[in-house]
Amino acid sequence: MKRQLVIDDRRNVALVYRPETAQALSLAKTLTKWLKERDYKVFTAPEQKIIAGTTALKRRSELAKMSLLVVLGGDGTYLRATRLLDGKSIPILGVNLGSLGFLTPFRADELFTAVEHTLENKMEIRPRAMIQYQLLRKGKIRSEGLALNDVVIERGSLSQLINIAIRCDRKLVSEVKADGIIIASPTGSTAYNLAAGGPILHNEVKAFVVTSIAPHSLTTRPFIFPDESKLSFKFVGRAYDKNDSAHLVVDGIKVDKLINDDEIVLKKSESDHWMVRDANQNSFMILREKLKFGDR
């Protein structure tokens, strides 16, 4: 599904930048000046050092007033921006200053043209499904949130494999013994899931893929589930080891430590994430350019 991007008349643009990169900060300052000369209000997104010439946003909720978020960095910076949005339907334009830049398709030398075309409604926004997760402990919600790429259950610092019982709509799928489990959206299918041997999903496929990390079984294979299903992953620790633990990792960030009988419940989020893309771009071009798909 595609929809023409329409920038609202609030004329508010927020910037998210990679803090340890001098190039990102320099571009942020130059972009701020460029936008202000065109009568846009420019803001530094929360939880960052303020960019000269911008207004600092103190709270994540204030991002709801933005027309556009511009990310200057790599995929990690882009994922940080999606966490800041927390499901708000504000489009993100990603400029790659890192190595791969799968989520940030525009180069630094394309920045001003890309922003100008976006503000002139010459770009498209494309929806990406997000995963909504809940961590349940003794039946009560301990934490919850959204993931654009993936939710990962991985073993802790000990070398032993962990046991995870997988259910789909309350029906037992299997119990897996492995280093961990990756639950990826179509967007995240080209990230950790791909590295672990999982399949690539087209961005518009309405599904999630579940891939085991180094499973201790020859029959364990990646599984694709429809995204209207509710998936559950119960950490089944060893009964003789009360200190057995694992980690819950969301979009590359460790969220919590899991203990025996903790359960992760996942479903498709009701709100989509929106990416700014050139109308001439498509997912196959990005696969070829970024991942060298099909090269011999």
Cβ atoms 145, 250 nearer than 8 A:
yes
Q: Is position 75 annotated as part of the catalytic site? A: yes
Q: Tell me the C-alpha distance between 287 and 258, whole Å.
A: 35
Q: Measured at the alpha carbon of residue 236, what is the angle toward residues 217 and 165, in degrees to the nearest 5?
A: 55
Distance separating alpha carbons of residues 121 and 124, to the nearest angstrom: 8
Catalytic residue among 8, 75, 150, 295: 75
Assign 161 to helix, strand or coil: coil
Q: What's the CA gap between 47 and 210, in Å, rounded? A: 32
- Identity of the amino acid at 254: K
**Cα 196 from chain centre:** 17
36, 55 Cβ separation under 8 angstroms? no
Residue type, 117: H
**CA 98/CA 294 separation, integer angstroms:** 23
Do 60 and 80 touch, CB atoms closer than 8 A? Answer: no
Evaluate whether 167 touches 264 at the Cβ level (below 8 Å): no
- Annotated catalytic residues are 75
